[in-house]
Structure 1
């Protein structure tokens, strides 16, 4: 094995100044041109670091002592921020977070998409970048003989017992704590992943941001929930006005959270919420955007980019439970939505019915298979909207878009790198990217969403 030629050695301490942040929020310092990635240090800061790992072209280090702090550095308000892996940017001011996310999008549009002249607008952030998540799901375990519930410690499966999380809705914190306490009081043992024993694996809370409706989900290893009736009564007493209590059963030895069987223990099997005047039914396992305030901002921009007049046929690839489709259907002649998850398509159909929307058709399957079949049936879209997973659009779908030649493509992205890659493909196929709008859906974390609009030349 070739020896790594680096200007530093593992275990060596050096003084560095930081010039940049990676897309994971790590500081980047260079020693004789060799980049070191360091957690917890910001651009413009200097400090003493210890080299922890060396690779061929880059290394990692840990911050020992901060020497000069950035004016954008703030004190993280979360007491377990340093241990928990849920947030990465609480030590950076919100203005600094916006700048980092803008740079992240701008850089990949320039470098990967090779589109330096395309406008990338300033990030649309939140007035209050806290308490925005409407869903919380946490593992449950045993520590020192008592039940604990919280997020995993960074790079481990050790649970940090937390009474609150500052990016979750306050009601979610309360639901998780109350469910944990009620289960403990009735002798429900938490799941032990090493021995595959115990009952309670995870607790999930869902909140209707606009409606105030509340759902508690108990994810168990066994079908049997000891003292079930007493637990349901205990949860109802502890959480006044709870709308729904649900049990999901996952008997498998896996790190996947949900099992395939779900039963409602009390109340409704869904809660309702609204985004932009459209009502959504949300079950325990529904995919639903976790930041409804910013979802409306993102979708309004997508709708604006689509430029609908009421005469257009629109295809929504990766439609999920129909969130974007139903937004578009208000302004389009006809919308066709496709999604690989059959349950999501059932939810989409239910949501269309719930809102009296009759010009939206949904089909389960792979976008890259269903959309060409629609094309053969004579469905010719004026606009195609894509909102793919982090890996970006399937190559076959991009080929299909280039064959179908819609006048516009609106690309909603949760990964700027794959957005930039796919924009390059569409540009090479005859489209022109007009503009890109980043949106901060996940404040205090490194993630950034963006929506781009392309037109056929």
Structure 2
């Protein structure tokens, strides 16, 4: 009955005077209207505003600012002209120090919800030296404007495919920005046929002066591919295409066809060289990734007799760093191109105690353990969905002494840590990282060790 009464308490279109009492995990201001929680984008803690209700759910509502009447000391002017329209950044309006405090607080709350002493286990967040211009990769939507006979680029608004048109992004280097502008001019010169190109993927090496561009197109015709191969920019060493007919679905087709160049970039991390192919995973901020991997090495406490599993290993960056300390390291990754890169990277760095398996972690790990494999350490670095339950259960059943979790999603981190704690693991340390300044995202490296289940 209380829920029904709450729903009647406010309705879409109503306006309220509110004060934001905190931020939610998306960076929205949180206020209370007639007893109901309301989420308001771009409103900071302590700010007073007139808001309008835009949607009402069972337990919460959403609103938008009609008039902001006070300004927090944490507020700044966002440098991006389409901030608030583009869905890429959520907190450009917040001073960077305040962003890191908010993100560290989210990790501390996870620790507290799990019954941990946050002061004892959560370390101060490691922030970025470069809160802007830090990304080494961008996926840029493009479209052909038939009225103006030109190709436009921009980013999708949050949870839509409406494009916020812009020729700049403050999260990528000026060199990358210049290449994207040049690419749009090139596509414009092609004419209406350029309408088949729906995304441009651009990657840049942080340690080598080179870029790699991929045109994502609905047109798989060989002649069109040869046309795209004519694109030239000073830093671009590789031009590739991938064919994906649906412009609003996944941007990658089944294959990536290199039209010009070597088909990869070279990157350097932890004193080692790495080959990076178009679809291979690499952390978007190279310098921060290097710092994060050093923390993983410290937390894993790998000795020269240890066998280590690097689950979700990508191109083997962390695997090969672990190999310097372990007797044997095994990397597991389902993306075939990444595994090819990982094996090439092992040869490139003359590392002989690392091996790589192209497989789903949740399928490979249980079978490997059942066949007699017994690692001393597992490093899990999963995507946002977290560790697959089959993989987590296999590690738990084997009583792996040390598990290090590299998380990019606080929600799934909390879920998976709860499972580990119930199974007899204890959290030793939680180290937050701000890999994605100006956004809601926060990474965290967590060291756990097995102590057994107490009754």
Structural mapping, 1:147-226, within 5 Å = 147-187=151-191, 189-191=193-195, 199-224=196-221
Residues 303, 5 of structure 1: alpha-carbon distance in 2 compared, 3 angstrom cutoff: same
Q: Distance in 1 between matches of 2:347 and 2:123?
A: 36
What CA deviation, in whole Å up to 9, does each residue of 1:284-337 have, x standing for no partner?
222221111111111111111011232211011121222221121111110111
Q: Which residue of 2 aligns with 1:127?
A: 129
Equivalent of 1:360 in 354, 361, 368: 354
Residues 5, 231 of structure 1: alpha-carbon distance in 2 compared, 3 angstrom cutoff: closer
Q: Distance in 2 between matches of 1:74 and 1:206?
A: 29
The residue matched to 1:95 in structure 2 has which SS?
Answer: helix
Q: Distance in 2 between matches of 1:387 and 1:127?
A: 23
Q: Distance in 2 between matches of 1:455 and 1:261?
A: 41
Give the gaps of 5 or more residues in structure 2.
Answer: none
Equivalent of 1:287 in 281, 284, 297: 281
Q: Which residue of 2 aligns with 1:140?
A: 142
Shift of 1:387: 1.0
Q: Which residue of 2 aligns with 1:383?
A: 377
Shift of 1:425: 1.4
Q: Does 1:37 align with 2:31?
A: no
Q: Distance in 2 between matches of 1:455 and 1:447?
A: 26
Do 1:20 and 1:43's aligned partners in 2 also have CA atoms closer than 8 Å? yes
Do 1:321 and 1:347's aligned partners in 2 also have CA atoms closer than 8 Å? yes
Residues 388, 160 of structure 1: alpha-carbon distance in 2 compared, 3 angstrom cutoff: same
Q: Which residue of 2 aligns with 1:275?
A: 269
Residues 174, 109 of structure 1: alpha-carbon distance in 2 compared, 3 angstrom cutoff: same
Give the gaps of 5 or more residues in structure 1.
Answer: 192-198
More deviation in 241-250 or 130-139?
Answer: 241-250
Do 2:84 and 2:90's aligned partners in 1 also have CA atoms closer than 8 Å? no
Q: Distance in 2 between matches of 1:275 and 1:200?
A: 33
Do 1:188 and 1:226's aligned partners in 2 also have CA atoms closer than 8 Å? no
Q: Distance in 1 between matches of 2:164 and 2:194?
A: 14
Residues 9, 223 of structure 1: alpha-carbon distance in 2 compared, 3 angstrom cutoff: closer
Q: Which residue of 2 aligns with 1:103?
A: 105
TM-score (norm 1): 0.93
Q: Does 1:409 align with 2:403?
A: yes
Q: Distance in 2 between matches of 1:300 and 1:247?
A: 35
More deviation in 290-299 or 7-16?
Answer: 7-16
What CA deviation, in whole Å up to 9, does each residue of 1:428-449 have, x standing for no partner?
2111111100000100000000
The residue matched to 2:6 in structure 1 has which SS?
Answer: coil
Q: Does 1:325 align with 2:319?
A: yes
Q: Which residue of 1 aligns with 2:59?
A: 57
Shift of 1:12: 1.5
Q: Distance in 1 between matches of 2:348 and 2:306?
A: 23
Q: Distance in 1 between matches of 2:235 and 2:383?
A: 35
Do 2:366 and 2:390's aligned partners in 1 also have CA atoms closer than 8 Å? no
Q: Distance in 2 between matches of 1:423 and 1:35?
A: 28
Shift of 1:261: 3.0
TM-score (norm 2): 0.93
Q: Distance in 2 between matches of 1:340 and 1:227?
A: 31
Q: Which residue of 1 aligns with 2:257?
A: 263
Shift of 1:188: 5.2
Shift of 1:384: 0.9
Q: Distance in 2 between matches of 1:230 and 1:258?
A: 19
Do 2:212 and 2:236's aligned partners in 1 also have CA atoms closer than 8 Å? yes
